Amino acid sequence: PTAAISSAIDGLPEMPPHDFQPSTHDGLDFSTVLNIRKKNLNPALFTFYRKPVYIHQGHMQYLWDTNGRRYIDLFAGIVTVSVGHCHPTVGRAAQEQMKKLWHTTNIYLHPKIHEYAEKLVSKLPGNLKVVYVTNSGSEANDLAILMARLYTGVFECVSLRNCYHGASPYLMGLTALSTWRYNSPTGFGFHHTMNPDPYRGPWGGKHCRDSPAQPGRQCDCVEGECHAKDMYVDQLEDVLRYSMPKGKVAAFIAEAIQGVGGAVQLPDGYLKKAYEKIRAHGGLCIADEVQTGFGRLGSHYWGFESQGVVPDIVTMAKGMGNGYPMGAVVTTPEIAATMGQALHFNTFGGNPVACAVGSAVLDVIDEEKTQALCADVGTYFIQALDSLRSEFEIIGDIRGKGLMIGVELVKDKVSRDPLPGDEVASIWEDTKEMGVLIGKGGLFGNCLRIKPPMCLTKADVDYSLAVLRRALQNHSQRQ
Ligand code: PLP
């Protein structure tokens, strides 16, 4: 059952070897699942691919389906498995804690929440010292907005277009990606400013990033000094001026690299200027680190550090539990004080098992030098993709940092029109058939998102590149 799928594919190298022995699967078989899906018996069976992948086991950067096929996981369950599927250290920490105490609700303290909060704040700069543990990123952002409104006494908040900050009705108002907004009432008091998108925005901003300058529209930079960011910040000023009663704002929230939006990397210095503006209007600055945190960018532990800013509130989730459901809000004692002593109630948030898992994840990131690994393997990946870009007209942009990478597919490099969805889907389905699972996103659904478990190796990158090249060649032949 462990036969590598790659051996069946002509001319491709073998998938990198491994010494993990997955167990065989003895539950529902694949055809049963397909039948369930076909008959629409279970609407919860929403899956990514035309023919769903039925995964039953994972180990570090690999997944196995019920047929025993191995896949390189380049999407990590939507950027959620940080240090590796079923990482043994994290698994042991959960098991040990489960022998002692699973739950108290946060009406009592327990040693694990104390240990976890201390460890987490040691990773954060400034006066970010108070931790609220939640169960998800949406809950964390809901709470962060509530805090900002209580602290400032102002209701209005601003986010970037193309952002995704969560799925609660409240946060759907904050999220500015139409694909993730439904035709129902959303939270009030949310405003959106122009996205400082170096590839699609009117002023570019490309020179201000680490990746090589690309032909086409670029910002008007001189000697590394980026002017694009100033123009995007003027747009923010415009929103503040026209939309905020008495010129006051409660909060501004942004990721340093937009995850769901397609790994859009903000121009250098944008957040610094934006934070100055927001603070001048009395608001708090929230960094959403749900995808960008915990060393994934390689250069920094937190995404906001790559922009040289210190936020007032940081939200996180996904990778902090390596797939175990948890999230958190971290803020200053002054801001936390407005919440009152026991005002915020959350039954499962901060339960001992989650805290044990979160604590083990922080240890593994240190012990395995995960951040340095992201920098090394991520740079290798981005360089390889940059060279692939010169081979294929439909690769419009390669962007990102560390192991948070986006590949934007277009009709051609000059028009930058998004590649139609069915063509993107065929490329993406093709990579799956060759054993590589990639994410997809962006407003037009034309961005491949590469955000694997952070233990990916260069050998995995080589194989993934060979697969992507083959899928793009297959696409060219189909045209
Ligand atoms: N913030 C960002 C940047 C996200 O990518 C997500 C989820 O994809 C969320 C918040 C919401 O997190 P959750 O799905 O855990 O509620």
Structure tokens at 134: 């939640």
* Cβ–Cβ under 8 Å, residues 33 and 46: no
The per-residue pLDDT for 335 is 95
The answer to whether the Cα torsion of 419, 420, 424, 427 is positive or negative is negative
Determine the atom of ligand 1 nearest the C-alpha atom of 163.
Answer: 3
Backbone dihedral angles phi then psi of residue 378, each to the nearest 5 degrees:
-65, -45
**How far is it, in rounded angstroms, from Cα 428 to Cα 442?**
14
List of E strands, 332-451: 395-401, 404-409, 436-437, 439-441, 447-450
List of E strands, 414-468: 436-437, 439-441, 447-450
Q: Which residue from 298, 290, 287 is spatially nearest to 316, judged by alpha carbons?
A: 290
**How far is it, in rounded angstroms, from Cα 229 to Cα 36?**
50
Backbone dihedral angles phi then psi of residue 135, each to the nearest 5 degrees:
-110, -10
Residue 141 has pLDDT above 80, yes or no: yes
The answer to whether the Cα torsion of 69, 74, 78, 80 is positive or negative is positive
**How far is it, in rounded angstroms, from Cα 444 to Cα 411?**
12
Determine the atom of ligand 1 nearest the C-alpha atom of 166.
Answer: 11
The per-residue pLDDT for 165 is 97
Atom 1 in ligand 1: which residue has the minimum CA distance? 165
* Cβ–Cβ under 8 Å, residues 329 and 312: no
From the CB of 449, is ligand 1 less than 6 Å away? Answer: no
Determine the atom of ligand 1 nearest the C-alpha atom of 78.
Answer: 8
Instruction: Provide the β-strand partners of residue 285.
Output: 252
From the CB of 255, is ligand 1 less than 6 Å away? Answer: yes
The per-residue pLDDT for 258 is 97
Which pTM value belongs to this model?
A: 0.93
What average pLDDT does this structure show over 48-58? 84
Ligand 1 centroid distance, CA of 137 (Å): 5
Residue 437 has pLDDT above 70, yes or no: yes
Residue type, 42: N
**How far is it, in rounded angstroms, from Cα 455 to Cα 368?**
9
The per-residue pLDDT for 466 is 96
* Cβ–Cβ under 8 Å, residues 265 and 298: no
At 197, is the secondary structure helix, strand, or coil? coil
**How far is it, in rounded angstroms, from Cα 126 to Cα 78?**
30
> Ligand 1 pocket test: which of 159, 290, 292, 315 has the largest number of ligand atoms within 8 Å of its C-beta?
290
What average pLDDT does this structure show over 312-322? 98
From the CB of 290, is ligand 1 less than 6 Å away? Answer: yes
Q: Which residue from 232, 257, 267 is spatially nearest to 158, judged by alpha carbons?
A: 232
What average pLDDT does this structure show over 191-196? 96
Residue 454 has pLDDT above 80, yes or no: yes
Least confident of 33-47, 101-115, 302-316, 375-389: 33-47
Q: What is the DSSP string of 379-396?
A: HHHHHHHHHHHHH-TTEE
From the CB of 303, is ligand 1 less than 6 Å away? Answer: no
Structure tokens at 296: 């994934």
Determine the atom of ligand 1 nearest the C-alpha atom of 139.
Answer: 16
Q: Where does the pLDDT of residue 3 fall: very low under 50, low under 70, confident under 90, or very high at 90 and above?
A: very low
Ligand 1 centroid distance, CA of 165 (Å): 5
Q: Where does the pLDDT of residue 226 fall: very low under 50, low under 70, confident under 90, or very high at 90 and above?
A: low
Determine the atom of ligand 1 nearest the C-alpha atom of 292.
Answer: 3
From the CB of 141, is ligand 1 less than 6 Å away? Answer: yes
Q: Beta strands 327-331 and 436-437: pairing type?
A: unpaired
Q: Where does the pLDDT of residue 213 fall: very low under 50, low under 70, confident under 90, or very high at 90 and above?
A: very low
**How far is it, in rounded angstroms, from Cα 172 to Cα 403?**
27
The answer to whether the Cα torsion of 360, 361, 362, 365 is positive or negative is positive
Backbone dihedral angles phi then psi of residue 141, each to the nearest 5 degrees:
-70, -35
Residue 305 has pLDDT above 90, yes or no: yes
Ligand 1 centroid distance, CA of 329 (Å): 13
- For the chain, counts of helices (H) and of strands (E): 13, 17
DSSP-based helix, strand, coil % in the chain, nearest 5 = 40, 15, 45
Instruction: Provide the β-strand partners of residue 464.
Output: none
The per-residue pLDDT for 435 is 96
Residue 446 has pLDDT above 60, yes or no: yes
Q: What is the pLDDT of residues 59-105, one digit of tens each?
A: 999 999 988 899 999 999 999 999 999 999 999 999 999 999 999 88
* CA 443 vs CA 206, 253, 447: distances in Å: 20, 19, 9
Least confident of 162-166, 190-194, 335-339: 335-339
Atom 12 in ligand 1: which residue has the minimum CA distance? 137
Residue 334: how many CB atoms within 10 A of its CB? 11
At 120, is the secondary structure helix, strand, or coil? helix
The per-residue pLDDT for 211 is 36
Angle at Cα 460 formed by Cα 262 and Cα 209, nearest 5°?
40
Q: Where does the pLDDT of residue 212 fall: very low under 50, low under 70, confident under 90, or very high at 90 and above?
A: very low
Atom 14 in ligand 1: which residue has the minimum CA distance? 137
Residue 30 has pLDDT above 70, yes or no: no
From the CB of 164, is ligand 1 less than 6 Å away? Answer: yes
Determine the atom of ligand 1 nearest the C-alpha atom of 136.
Answer: 15
Tell me the residue length of the chain.
479
Q: Where does the pLDDT of residue 1 fall: very low under 50, low under 70, confident under 90, or very high at 90 and above?
A: very low
The per-residue pLDDT for 185 is 77
Q: What is the pLDDT of residues 249-271, one digit of tens each?
A: 999 999 999 999 999 999 889 99
What average pLDDT does this structure show over 18-25? 87
- Counting residues of the chain whose pLDDT is more than 90, the rounded percentage is 72
For the question of an ipTM over 0.95, the answer is yes
Residue 46 has pLDDT above 90, yes or no: no
From the CB of 260, is ligand 1 less than 6 Å away? Answer: yes
Residue 216 has pLDDT above 70, yes or no: no
> Ligand 1 pocket test: which of 142, 291, 314 has the largest number of ligand atoms within 8 Å of its C-beta?
291
Residue 2: how many CB atoms within 10 A of its CB? 12
Residue 2 has pLDDT above 80, yes or no: no
What average pLDDT does this structure show over 5-11? 59
- Counting residues of the chain whose pLDDT is more than 70, the rounded percentage is 89
Pick 214 or 361 by higher pLDDT: 361
Q: Which residue from 351, 282, 288 is spatially nearest to 321, judged by alpha carbons?
A: 351
Structure tokens at 93: 């920490």
The per-residue pLDDT for 113 is 94
**How far is it, in rounded angstroms, from Cα 148 to Cα 212?**
38
* Cβ–Cβ under 8 Å, residues 335 and 343: no
Residue 29: how many CB atoms within 10 A of its CB? 12
